[in-house]
Amino acid sequence: MKMTSWPLLAVLFAVLPLSAQIPDAKPASHAQESATEAKTLAPADVEQVLQRIYGYDSSIQWKILRVRNAPIPGMTEVLMSMNNEFKRLFITADGRYGIIGDWMPFGPDPYGPAREKLRAADGISRGPERPAVVMVEFSDLQCPHCKMVQPVLERLAADFHQMKIVFQQYPMPKHLWAGTAARYADCAGRMNNAAALKFIVAVYENQDEILQATADEKLKGLAQTAGLDAEKLSACAATPAAEAQVKKSMALADSLGILGTPSIFVNGRLLEPVPDASDASYERVKKIVQYEIEHAGK
């Protein structure tokens, strides 16, 4: 799923008054109350407000995907689609205002917090053990755009031998066999990292031929082609341990606030917009990787 990025100044174009519609909104006199006391709103409350604001126009369609605590302390973050575009809605701690837009990391080391979290990335990898820079990709093996990005990562791996690339699982709920493929890939990585890399490429190349009903058999065949023991891999993929590993990877992605796949970080810097297979896109990412190598540890 390709994401729509929103620049920082986008927050200025839409500030929505919410307090009149949220039942438990705090009065203005409590606006200075500690942000730690703010509670995440229920999806039903958010839906009620959106209906009140946009209900006049049937051409405006939205769907609430997730409601959670925002990276900004004290605020609620609503991930939603509106007319088939991803949007983030931030609701203030007192429940009086909503801001449509995005946040960006800031400070002397803006990507430090994400970089620290990404130390937990333990998926299939390529590159040196002591890299100058680490790229972490959260991907879905059924995602068409993830397939499109794979050749870009192959080129980057060839150009930057000092970079380590880590593949993390993030199967999207709407993709029916992605979860199965994620468990297979995770087990493959623990059995044979080099063969697991071949397995990932094979799954991407055969995306259109894999169906939910026959996913296991197809994935076993691709695993065998990649040099893996298909029966052992299938047995591993059916275990609670494999499911737990995939959920762990997804929890890491959620902690970083990503919206979809592929989401790619270079030394903690999220690449936005998501790269595509064009030469122009590749050159842009190449410049970012080189820049991060030059500024590693700064």
Q: Is the pLDDT of residue 85 over 90?
A: no
Q: Is the pLDDT of residue 291 over 60?
A: yes
Q: What is the mean pLDDT of residues 178-203?
A: 97
% of the chain at pLDDT higher than 70: 86
Given this model, what pLDDT does residue 2 score? 46
Given this model, what pLDDT does residue 290 score? 95
Given this model, what pLDDT does residue 237 score? 97
Q: Provide the residue type at 116 as one letter.
A: E
Q: How far are the Cα atoms of 56, 73, 246, 257 from residue 91, in angstroms, in the given order?
A: 22, 11, 30, 16
Helix (H, G, I), strand (E, B) or coil at 141: coil
Q: How confident is the model at residue 31 (pLDDT cuts 50, 70, 90)?
A: very low
- Cα 215 to its chain centre, rounded Å, is 24
Backbone angles phi, psi at 98, to 5 degrees: -120, 145
Given this model, what pLDDT does residue 41 score? 83
- This prediction has a pTM of 0.81
Q: What is the mean pLDDT of residues 166-178?
A: 95
Per the listing, tokens 């796949």 go with: 261
Given this model, what pLDDT does residue 298 score? 57
DSSP letter at 92 equals -
Q: How confident is the model at residue 186 (pLDDT cuts 50, 70, 90)?
A: very high
pLDDT in tens, 90-102: 999 988 999 998 8
pLDDT in tens, 111-170: 999 999 999 999 999 999 999 999 999 999 999 999 999 999 999 999 999 999 999 999
The β-bridge partners of 67 are 78
β-pairing, 124-126 vs 163-169, is: antiparallel
Q: Is the pLDDT of residue 280 over 50?
A: yes
Q: What is the mean pLDDT of residues 232-240?
A: 97
Given this model, what pLDDT does residue 10 score? 38
Given this model, what pLDDT does residue 39 score? 65
Q: How many separate helices (H) and strands (E) can be counted in the chain?
A: 9, 10
